[in-house]
Structure 1
């Protein structure tokens, strides 16, 4: 909850910029509902001609009750606040002796109640109320904030209340809707919501019988070619805007697209009579689960890449790929179940003002690319109906992980101001990124980045990271269909070590076991979290251990920045064996 003077000032500015009295009051209740993180905020104003309190605006209660709920002074909880000019803060409002029930308000779920009087020049203007579902009073901090807000707004509301316009003016429609998600890439974006691939849902796709093995296999092979071409075309379009390591994601997608696990399993299901689309869907869900079983959130996020490839293949086979050419001037917020780097390459990067995904996490490739391009991104907005809001102006606030649909002009203007201020601040920091992180009393703080893909290297370097604190070496193993060779590992490790030289790079040897399984190496044990994993697994597979260590040492030849981290060590002899 925000308590700064800036919050109060911004709210007053929004009210003053409203078109009419009703809009101003709706801004108040909507903004306070958001700031205080409560489901209900209501404003009651005193009639200028009668001793009645009238519900003038609400966020959370039934809109039909606006103007209909009227209370005498000292009637109900609101009337009691007006009569005593004193705050009420209750854990269970219906249990209070002065509680009055209004069925049309639909407030049954809200027992938590707090109301404060609005007073200007000793005159009662009205009552401001917030309600919640918790079974406890609001905190003292929240009470102090609402009292402060009321004192600030009383003068502004005095003119509205005195005019009486709010009694006869038709109430406006609800101004906006909010949805919450996971911040993937920081920043604020304002643009037109543009859906991508919204007709494909892996989880709910219906099972379809094939039209014949030959026909379904041909359709699958054709889709493979189309997606492969799209990846190549996307890489060519965007190569000038992204560093080489980020562009390597196109290679990751292509590797997944051509992996034997995907190809063989899909063709086997087609041979069993399944449709090509269903075969891709089943195969992708199975492969993705091998990543998603991991406790490590970074590895878990790799399942999204498999799902993304499946969605692109199924989209090609459904022949519903977006046909209309995107307007190259309209600022857009791209939205979909998952969005890949190939999807982003279809638009100029300066046109994309934000990304919204119903699935995904802060460690997804979408987030990585968005960070590299400086595009705000919000992931995991599972309850957003993307097709419903197609073409609507939206604001995404990735700092809060929030999406605002059809915001009022005043809110858009405020977010634009915040965005401009943040850009100016970041530009002012750009000249400091290469300076050492030293406090004013000369204490040095080491700032390192964590990574596991070449694509992650660029953001850390760009923002002044002093090295890599943890490089997860499991990724090359998990995207192969067998143990990668020494040469394959060497090439990957060398790029990372060279990119950060002379900064230190801590590479963790293979941490497999327990929650981290390889699709081509199956093993089980009763208690994998304490047993055969990490160092014990690799020591029992000596060839694998030696191969990886050789690749790391070779990659660091001529450099002095490699550090090797050994996972899950439990005994001294394990360290001695590794050193030997």
Structure 2
């Protein structure tokens, strides 16, 4: 059965359209289980009907004409229960519905299985036999498995409009593909498929016939790609803010450094040809990033893979062909790299849709910086079949409308115009304080990790840095950076924002973020050796970093130190002891340093329940809502199968945050929130109501959050918080917040339009 199933799935995948896929399915299934008939009914929920769409054995003239109510007959019973029904004598069942025109009066045995896609019943797959027959368990399993495979093709056809090509189908509602919001906004245009320029994974290992020639080819290819990157960098200089434009500088550093080129040359010298040596080197570097727990850093593996493809193109003596983009291009692809995005003239780029990725993908980050709507993680995206079709990208809801009708298009055109007016209005808030109408100041800080972020962060109106990721300088070196090297980096950040506070998070690496010169291999890096654990186990690394921070702060005196992934009070006590030791060492050496404020991150459930104990020991708490939400809900937000379950407005998350705030405030200690929740206008209202003292988000989100704070009194936010804490469903909580934002005239922050 497994081999038969594999062949059917391959045939269905290769089908030209859904009609052919359904025809192949009923024919092959009928033969596989020796049935006398096989049929597929598809559900039209808007009309409340199950419609016969394909059959082998029943009257073919009834395809598209036989329509049963959703709950009618045995087909309706399978649909309603969403589980298989296996009957030896179907006509004897009380729910049996006889349809004479199909010719089914000859049949007795019945097996029906639901076709389900992400909890949604799309139709029913049925086999019938003339004799009384109860189908075997392995036959039931076979149909269930095949129905699950077929569900993806039907879901895509439903969303893309292909169902309308089937006989008898009647569209009843707008069609869209579901994904994850990548960048807010509305984009209307034409799908433009993006394919990888070279298939790096397919390159084999071969013996180098002329190693000297292979080395020369590698160097030439690296030089050619370096020139391409310089051209793309120049094109994007006036389009991207400096912190995002710095990505092209990072590309140049990778091409100039010895890590990539040196690794490939070393493999050539051991006998591999240039393409094989390149493939192995790129794979090694990509793997390091993909094994990391930090979603932002893990996504950087695709940047390296993109460089590898470009280098391979030149090794294969090809050059990237110039592409003619439509006037309003919406890029669609499995993954879209920063350079592929940069190749599109800015005035022609209307949106981005990716089959893979998350809100931390580089393409999502760049899209937000450019103000381009994006939807990522669209698992049902059939890239080749959508190329050239009209699309609408809804970056607020994470939806992609395929071949929208005139009514849908007109509505989104109206919303896009309203959104443009909203964006223009937000610019007027730049120099105004983040203060509520009832006089409560809520400082807004930025999250960063690159020196290039400094200027745009200052321009955004940020009042300081709420989270600076110090691990990035460690990631781009082939050894641990020394004390003086680290001090120079930290001093640049502290000086740029002085006298505003800058919170430097200590090193957050480990088994899930393995440094190339400090490898760690673990079976479960999500719960492994990382953050404060590795710092305490290697005090020589921790002390060096602390000394660099304190020395950098000596003249500017705006440093705050933040300790990551603390789960035990004992860890916190030990870390504080080492900070005091570093301070005392420097004082004894004659340095004019001070003891900076020290905070602890609340990222794991154990820290929530110890927040009060933490607050007795440190100067402030900072909640990392991304990790906290994932740990509380046991959901990987980058896993498309469960990403919909990730919701920072889950009641458990809200109550955890409230417990942290109350525990800290009992000891007079402030609480900050960093991560995506701080940049979500809907969540920001509740954080304001909880009494959160400051928020730290990206520079792009800061104006929207400021508008919320300046428009919503804390007393009103607290009342709204009390209401939603009575609710048990995250969807209901979000709807209630959206209603409140609409009433306050802030609806444009959470949907298209204003």
Normalised to the residue count of structure 1, the TM-score between the two structures is 0.68
SS at match of 1:283: helix
1:268-315 deviations in whole A, cap 9, x for unaligned?
333344343333222222212212222222222222222222222223
For 1:209 and 1:383, locate their aligned partners in 2 and report how far apart those are by CA, in whole Å: 37
Q: 2:381 aligns with which of 371, 379, 384?
A: 384
8 Å CA contact 1:76–1:100 kept in 2: the answer is no
- Would you say 1:572 and 2:539 are equivalent positions? no
Q: 1:44 to 1:293 in 2, by over 3 A?
A: closer
For 1:65 and 1:561, locate their aligned partners in 2 and report how far apart those are by CA, in whole Å: 77
Q: Which residue of the partner structure matches residue 315 of structure 2?
A: 317
Shift of 1:465: 4.2
Q: Which residue of the partner structure matches residue 187 of structure 1?
A: 185
SS at match of 1:227: helix
8 Å CA contact 2:198–2:310 kept in 1: the answer is no
For 1:79 and 1:421, locate their aligned partners in 2 and report how far apart those are by CA, in whole Å: 48
Q: 2:545 aligns with which of 536, 543, 548?
A: 548
Q: What does 1:471-550 align with in structure 2 at a 5 Å threshold?
A: 471-486=468-483, 488-523=485-520, 533-535=530-532, 537-538=534-535, 541=538, 544-550=541-547
- Would you say 1:395 and 2:392 are equivalent positions? yes
SS at match of 1:350: helix
For 1:40 and 1:464, locate their aligned partners in 2 and report how far apart those are by CA, in whole Å: 52
8 Å CA contact 1:284–1:310 kept in 2: the answer is yes
Q: Which residue of the partner structure matches residue 353 of structure 2?
A: 356
Q: What does 1:281-296 align with in structure 2 at a 5 Å threshold?
A: 281-296=279-294
Unaligned runs of 5+ in 1: 1-38, 46-52, 81-88, 113-129, 135-165
User: Looking at both structures, which has the greater relative contact order when contacts are Cα pairs under 8 Å and sequence separation is at least 6?
Assistant: 1
Q: Which residue of the partner structure matches residue 152 of structure 1?
A: none
SS at match of 2:510: coil
8 Å CA contact 2:203–2:279 kept in 1: the answer is no
- Would you say 1:222 and 2:212 are equivalent positions? no
Greater mean deviation of Cα atoms: 190-199 or 534-543: 534-543
8 Å CA contact 1:493–1:552 kept in 2: the answer is yes
8 Å CA contact 1:201–1:337 kept in 2: the answer is no
SS at match of 1:520: coil
For 1:357 and 1:562, locate their aligned partners in 2 and report how far apart those are by CA, in whole Å: 39
8 Å CA contact 1:175–1:408 kept in 2: the answer is no
Q: 1:475 to 1:526 in 2, by over 3 A?
A: same
8 Å CA contact 1:188–1:398 kept in 2: the answer is yes
Q: Which residue of the partner structure matches residue 561 of structure 1?
A: 558
Q: What does 1:316-335 align with in structure 2 at a 5 Å threshold?
A: 316-327=314-325, 330-335=327-332
Q: 2:264 aligns with which of 263, 266, 270?
A: 266
Q: Which residue of the partner structure matches residue 680 of structure 2?
A: none
Q: What does 1:141-152 align with in structure 2 at a 5 Å threshold?
A: none
- Would you say 1:237 and 2:235 are equivalent positions? yes
For 2:442 and 2:387, locate their aligned partners in 1 and report how far apart those are by CA, in whole Å: 46
For 1:509 and 1:544, locate their aligned partners in 2 and report how far apart those are by CA, in whole Å: 10
For 2:121 and 2:525, locate their aligned partners in 1 and report how far apart those are by CA, in whole Å: 48
Q: What does 1:7-406 align with in structure 2 at a 5 Å threshold?
A: 40-42=43-45, 67-70=64-67, 77=71, 90-91=80-81, 97-98=94-95, 100=97, 108-110=112-114, 131=121, 178-202=176-200, 204-207=201-204, 209=206, 212=209, 213-327=211-325, 330-381=327-378, 384-406=381-403
Q: Which residue of the partner structure matches residue 36 of structure 2?
A: none
1:507-533 deviations in whole A, cap 9, x for unaligned?
111123232221112356899888865
SS at match of 2:263: helix
Shift of 1:489: 3.4
Q: Which residue of the partner structure matches residue 707 of structure 2?
A: none
For 1:338 and 1:530, locate their aligned partners in 2 and report how far apart those are by CA, in whole Å: 28
Q: 1:215 to 1:401 in 2, by over 3 A?
A: farther
For 1:405 and 1:525, locate their aligned partners in 2 and report how far apart those are by CA, in whole Å: 43
For 2:113 and 2:206, locate their aligned partners in 1 and report how far apart those are by CA, in whole Å: 47
SS at match of 2:392: strand
Q: 1:527 to 1:294 in 2, by over 3 A?
A: closer
Shift of 1:376: 1.7
Q: What does 1:400-415 align with in structure 2 at a 5 Å threshold?
A: 400-415=397-412
Q: 1:390 to 1:317 in 2, by over 3 A?
A: farther
1:228-271 deviations in whole A, cap 9, x for unaligned?
11111122222122333322211211222233332232223333
Q: What does 1:428-507 align with in structure 2 at a 5 Å threshold?
A: 428-454=425-451, 464-486=461-483, 488-507=485-504
Q: 1:312 to 1:488 in 2, by over 3 A?
A: farther
Shift of 1:171: 6.6
1:33-82 deviations in whole A, cap 9, x for unaligned?
xxxxxx9434559xxxxxxx996999xxxx997751156xxx884599xx
Q: Which residue of the partner structure matches residue 138 of structure 2?
A: none
Shift of 1:474: 1.0
Shift of 1:330: 1.0
> Any runs of at least 4 consecutive aligned residues in structure 1 with deviations exceeding 6 A, and if so which?
53-58, 63-66, 93-96, 101-104, 169-177, 524-532
Shift of 1:396: 2.0
Shift of 1:371: 1.5
For 2:543 and 2:465, locate their aligned partners in 1 and report how far apart those are by CA, in whole Å: 23
For 2:371 and 2:455, locate their aligned partners in 1 and report how far apart those are by CA, in whole Å: 12
8 Å CA contact 2:501–2:558 kept in 1: the answer is yes
**Number of matched pairs:** 472
Greater mean deviation of Cα atoms: 191-200 or 301-310: 191-200
SS at match of 2:347: coil
8 Å CA contact 1:230–1:342 kept in 2: the answer is no
For 1:239 and 1:348, locate their aligned partners in 2 and report how far apart those are by CA, in whole Å: 13
8 Å CA contact 1:355–1:377 kept in 2: the answer is yes
SS at match of 1:513: coil
SS at match of 1:431: helix
For 1:481 and 1:101, locate their aligned partners in 2 and report how far apart those are by CA, in whole Å: 74
Q: 1:70 to 1:550 in 2, by over 3 A?
A: closer
Q: 1:456 to 1:68 in 2, by over 3 A?
A: farther
1:174-231 deviations in whole A, cap 9, x for unaligned?
99974443332222222222334435345x5252535633343333222211111111
8 Å CA contact 1:42–1:57 kept in 2: the answer is no
SS at match of 2:191: strand
For 1:484 and 1:381, locate their aligned partners in 2 and report how far apart those are by CA, in whole Å: 40
Q: 1:457 to 1:320 in 2, by over 3 A?
A: farther
SS at match of 1:334: strand
For 2:189 and 2:574, locate their aligned partners in 1 and report how far apart those are by CA, in whole Å: 59
